[in-house]
Copies of this chain bind each other. A is one copy, B any other.
Amino acid sequence: MTKKRLKHIDRQKQIIEIAKELVSEGGVHNLTIRKLTKKAGITEAALYRHFNSRDDVVINLIKEVNEKLIETIKSSINSDGNSIDDLEKILNLHYSSIELRKGLSFIVILQASEFESQEIRQAGNNLVRSYLKIIEDLIYLGIKKGEIDRTVEPESASMMFFGIVQVSVTRWIFDPEHHPLNEKSKSLWNLFRTSLEFMDEDLELHRVPFQSNTNREK
């Protein structure tokens, strides 16, 4: 019961962590100063030593989610492997039970921020863009390596990938029984994969890169 006296940076981290929980539990407007400080074991006034305003907390939360997301994704990418396999890895990462159980998908935080202040939406926009950029780069690389059909436009494909994540999370939010990690989601992924791989023209040229795929050629 002793009041912990944390250092600025640690308190900030703690607050962001609690903020994440609150948003996960009930959206951005469940993130109130009262609840936040109560959970953190400090007074409301103390919060303002570490953040300028509630908006400041939200913005930093989004930034943190952004950083963690990028970091996690990048570390899970195998630059020597197949880019389509990497995409699948990323998708599974979003669907990982740990993340989803906590409800802290970046999608959740993103959607919850839609109607907040201009500054918060700006942070949200950055999150969307940096995420799309990573996926886009990966697809571009896949095309270069001949793993993805060269008629595929990376920007469209990355948006579709984002859409897959988003729709999965949305379904799951409105119906918790509909967990993304079941078979149906697998076939959603297969549909996407197909749209990347297959394209009929210049078949001769594409055949070779496909050799790297598993379970093919006999």
CB of A167 within 8 A of CB of B170, answer no
A205, closest chain B residue (CB): B203
Q: Mark A12-32, 1 if CB is under 8 A from B, else 0.
A: 000000000000001101100
Known contacts A160-B188, A160-B192; A216/B210 CB under 8 A: no
> A64 within 8 Å of B by Cβ?
no
Identify which of A1-9, A65-73, A85-93, A120-128 touches chain B: A120-128
Q: Mark A201-218, 1 if CB is under 8 A from B, else 0.
A: 111011111111101110
- Residue contacts A-B, CB under 8 angstroms, 8 given: A110-B170, A111-B111, A114-B174, A124-B174, A159-B164, A163-B168, A209-B213, A209-B216
For A200, the chain B residues whose CB sits under 8 A away are 198, 201-202, 205-206
Tell me which residues across on chain B come within 8 A of A216, comparing CB atoms. 208-209
A104 within 8 A of B: no
A171 touches B199 (CB 8 A): no
Q: Which of B114, B170, B188, B197 contacts A173 (CB 8 A)?
A: B114
Within the assembled complex, what's the spacing in Å between the Cα atoms of A162 and B163?
8
**Known contacts A110-B170, A171-B159, A205-B203, A191 near B153 by CB under 8 Å:** yes
A192–B163 Cα distance when bound, in Å, is 11
Q: A156-B188, A163-B165 are in contact. List 19 more A-B contacts (CB 8 A).
A: A110-B174, A111-B114, A121-B174, A125-B174, A129-B175, A156-B191, A157-B191, A159-B164, A159-B168, A162-B167, A166-B170, A190-B213, A197-B209, A198-B198, A198-B200, A200-B202, A200-B206, A209-B210, A211-B215
Q: Considering residues A125, A156, A201, which has the most beta carbons from chain B within 10 angstroms of its beta carbon?
A: A156
A159 x B167 contact (CB < 8 A): yes
Q: Given the interface contacts A170-B128, A197-B209, does A160 sit within 8 Å of B153 by beta carbon?
A: no
